[in-house]
Amino acid sequence: MSRKNIYPKGCSVKHCDTTSLHLIKEMCQKHYTRMHRNGTIKTERHMHGLTNTPEYRVWSAMVQRCTNHKNKWYSYYGGRGIKVYKPWLIFDNFISDMGKRPLHGTIDRIDNNGNYEPGNCSWVTQKAQSNNTRRNHVLSHMGRRMTIAQWANDLGLKYSTLYGRINKNWPLDKALRKEYYHGTKVV
C-alpha cells in the first residue's frame, strides 16, 4: 500500500488549509504546537461571554499555576504535582461543575495535597480558605482540631496573644484559656 494515499496533502485538522506540514502527526506547525502543549487542538473558538467575570479569572489563574512552569506560583501547585481535572481545562466544564462564584468567594481545595477536581473543590470565603493552608499551625485539644486563628476567635482572644503563648511553649491547656497566667497564678 502506498503511503501517499494514507494522509491528506494538507494539515489533517478539519478546516485548516495549511499545506506546509510538521513532519510528525501530519499537522501544520500551529496545530502540532497546540497538540503538543495542551494535549488537544482547538479548531473553533467557543464564545461563552464570561471572559471578564470573576469565575473566569479564578479558573484561568488555577490552570496557569498548575500547568505553566513559568507562572510564579507553579512550584507551589503544578510543581508539587497538583493537577487540574482534565475536563476542567475547558472553562465551560469548570463553570458547569462549580457554578457561579459567591460574592468574594475563592476556590478552595478541601485536601490541600489533592487536585483541582469535583469533590475536592468548593467556593469559600477568603477567611475560610486562610484556615485551610499547609502553613497553618493546627492545635488539637479536647477532641477539637483548629488553627491558632480559629482557637483565638473561638475563645475571644487576640491572635497575637494565643500565638505568643504557643510560641513561648505554654502548656496547651493553659494557653487555650481566656484567663491570663502569671507564673502559676490566674490573674
Q: What secondary structure does DSSP assign to 109-178, as a single string?
A: ESSTTS-B-TTTEEEE-HHHHHTSSTT--EEEETTEEEEHHHHHHHHT--HHHHHHHHHTT--HHHHTSS
Shared-domain flag, residues 113 and 65: yes
Q: Within a domain: residue 157?
A: yes
Shared-domain flag, residues 71 and 125: yes
Shared-domain flag, residues 67 and 109: yes
Shared-domain flag, residues 82 and 122: yes
Q: Within a domain: residue 44?
A: no
**Which cell numbers in the block locate residue 64?**
496557569
Residue 85: pLDDT band by 50, 70, 90 thresholds?
Answer: very high
pLDDT tens column, 108-165 = 898 888 999 999 999 988 877 777 676 777 788 888 888 888 888 888 889 899 889 9
Q: Within a domain: residue 47?
A: no
Shared-domain flag, residues 147 and 167: yes
User: Percentage of residues in the chain with pLDDT exceeding 90?
Assistant: 30
Q: Is the pLDDT of residue 3 over 60?
A: no
106's enclosing H/E stretch is strand 106-109
Q: How many domains does the chain have?
A: 3
Q: Within a domain: residue 179?
A: yes
- Burial code (b: 16+ CB inside 10 Å, e: under 16) for 34-55 equals bbeeeeebeeeeeeeeeeeeeb
Q: Within a domain: residue 49?
A: no
Q: Supply the range of the domain harboring residue 75.
A: 54-130
Q: Within a domain: residue 48?
A: no
Task: Name the average pLDDT for the chain.
Answer: 79
Model pLDDT, residue 51: 76
Model pLDDT, residue 27: 66
- Burial code (b: 16+ CB inside 10 Å, e: under 16) for 95-112 equals beebeebeeebbbbbeee
